[in-house]
Amino acid sequence: MATDRRRVPTIHDVARVAGVSRGTVSRVLQGGRNVSAGALAAVEGAIKETGYVVNRAARQMVTGRSGSVAFLLTEPQERLFHDPNFGVLLRACTAELAAHDIPLLLMIAGTEGERRRNMRYIAAGHVDGVLLISSHHGDTVTAELHAAEVPLVVCGKPADASARIAHVAADDRGGAREMVRYLYATGRRRIATVTGPLDTSGGVDRLAGYREALAECGLAADDALVAAGDYSRGSGAAAAEQLLGRARDLDAVFVASDLMAQGVLTVLERAGRRVPEDIAVGGFDDSEAALESRPALTTMRQPYDRISAEMIRLLLARIGGQDPAAVILPTELVVRDSA
């Protein structure tokens, strides 16, 4: 505040004001072990008085910890922020980390060059850990980070389940299953699906859940009722066209993402099929898109707030030396107008 100096106060200034040594001040900063109540109070007072804020660079030099973590996106550019889920996750992670006073570095590895630069940065120890948002089976980032022994938590199930990689995911299979059973319960018998990309766990698992539910309901699996998408709106529309062409009698479709469901809805509308009267549509995510659609989308909610909170918890545990753990969170059926 009114410190005439433009200089930022250091631990030394605090020590002088408090009448103790720098070591003691540092001990207070570290939690106050082995510090008398008197010294503690003096130091805390001095910190307030001087407006001291620790110099993270200096701390990092000796501890080797940067006190920051990376939020690494390895999706292709276009999908990045078009898909509202990323934004929601990013915001939640930022807030969660802020509560721990840990800044979040946003890293986007769209191109190969960016990927390399970011890996270099991470491997150099500039961050304490990585929150990885990527799910494509082909990509090597997960393996690289794992090999580099960087504390890592992946959002979604990593492709290579054999490696013990900490991750947090929604219960894709269970969620899909519940949605399809719901469609069945409302009287639908020709239930199609638009899948997510099948080189992601989410895509695969939701399809598996769909099939499982069909079997449980005693409905025959029919490949004509399965169309692939890539989570984008456009791919949802394309898939819907296919389905309409292949199975004119379908009366419901489970779409593996809300964005794709929007595409499906527009195609159905254009084709003159009423939703939900003629065809019921169930989405997945409960993103912004679900509320925007007309009719409002019945969907499976992914608990992004809990997902991000768990990711942070797991990452901090990892950084603290604990073993990698995995968390699968339940989804929740949100019934609106489309089914």
Instruction: Give the interface with its own copies as residue ranges (CB under 8 A).
Output: 1-2, 4, 8, 53-58, 60-61, 66, 68, 71, 77, 80-82, 84, 86-88, 90-91, 94-95, 98, 101, 103-108, 110, 114, 117-118, 120-121, 123-126, 149, 233, 262, 266, 288, 292, 294, 321
C-beta separation of 102 from 68 below 8 A: yes
Min CB(88)–its own copies separation in Å:
6
**Closest alpha carbon to 333 in 183, 216, 230:** 183
- Least distance to DNA, CB of residue 191, Å: 58
- Shortest Å distance, C-beta 3 to DNA: 13
- Where are the alpha helices (H) located in the chain, listed in sequence order? 11-18, 22-29, 37-50, 56-63, 77-82, 84-99, 112-123, 141-147, 172-185, 201-217, 233-246, 258-270, 288-292, 304-319
52 scored as a contact of DNA (CB under 7 A): yes
What helix, strand, coil percent values describe the chain, rounded to 5?
45, 15, 35
Nearer to DNA, 12 or 48 (CB): 12
The rounded Cα 8 to chain-centroid distance in angstroms is 37
Which C-beta is closer to its own copies: that of 179 or that of 260? 260
Least distance from its own copies to the Cβ atom of residue 146, Å: 11
Stretch that binds DNA, among 4-12, 94-102, 158-166, 328-336 (CB under 7 A): 4-12
Q: Least distance to DNA from the beta carbon of 44, Å?
A: 12
Q: Which is nearer to its own copies, 84 or 303 (CB)?
A: 84
Q: How far is the CB of 114 from DNA (least distance, A)?
A: 23
- Which position has the token pair 């639908």? 188
Cβ distance to DNA smaller for residue 19 or 234: 19
221 binds DNA (CB under 7 A): no
Residue placing its CB nearer to its own copies in the complex, 4 or 223: 4
**CB-count burial class (<10 Å; 0-12, 13-18, 19+) for 111:** exposed
Taking the CB of residue 320, how many other CB atoms lie within 10 A of it?
9
Q: Which two tokens stand for residue 208?
A: 């598996």
The 10 Å Cβ neighbour count of residue 8 is 12
Question: Of 207 and 265, which CB lies nearer to its own copies in the complex structure?
Answer: 265
Which span sits near DNA by CB under 7 A: 52-60, 138-146, 201-209, 243-251? 52-60
**3 in contact with DNA (CB under 7 A):** no
Residues 19-48 that bind DNA (CB under 7 A): 20-27, 29-30, 34-36, 38-40
Question: Other C-beta atoms within 10 Å of 176: how many?
Answer: 29
Q: How many residues does the chain have?
A: 339
Residue with tokens 């986007």: 108
Spatial contact of 71 and 131, defined as CB atoms under 8 Å apart: yes
- Interface residue list for DNA (CB under 7 A): 7-8, 10-12, 20-27, 29-30, 34-36, 38-40, 52, 54-55, 58-59, 61-63
